[in-house]
Amino acid sequence: MNLSPRSFLKQLRINEAKKKLCNTEASIGQIAKEVGFLNQFNFTRSFKNSLELSPENYCKIYKNK
């Protein structure tokens, strides 16, 4: 895996958030809290660092697929 436990957990949270962004009408702040981030700012920063897309742009691209 070559990931630290912290990085692995972050990746799990991002993957769950990706599913929720495309399959629910919940706000980004609500999704951030549901998957374990302290706030929307930290979530958006981590999401963008992982995928090079903001949660908003990810949703626009992948929601209808």
The label of the residue with tokens 């990085």 reads 7
Residue 52 CA to residue 28 CA, distance in Å, equals: 17
Residue pLDDT, tens place only, 3-54: 899 999 999 999 999 999 988 889 999 999 999 999 999 999 999 999 999 9
Residue 64 CA to residue 50 CA, distance in Å, equals: 21
For residue 1, pLDDT beyond 80 = no
Residue 65 CA to residue 50 CA, distance in Å, equals: 20
DSSP 39: S
The whole-model pTM stands at 0.87
Q: pLDDT band at residue 63, thresholds of 50, 70 and 90?
A: confident
For residue 59, pLDDT beyond 80 = yes
The predicted structure's pLDDT at residue 2: 85
Phi-psi region of 52 (alpha: psi -120 to 50; beta: other; left: phi over 0): left
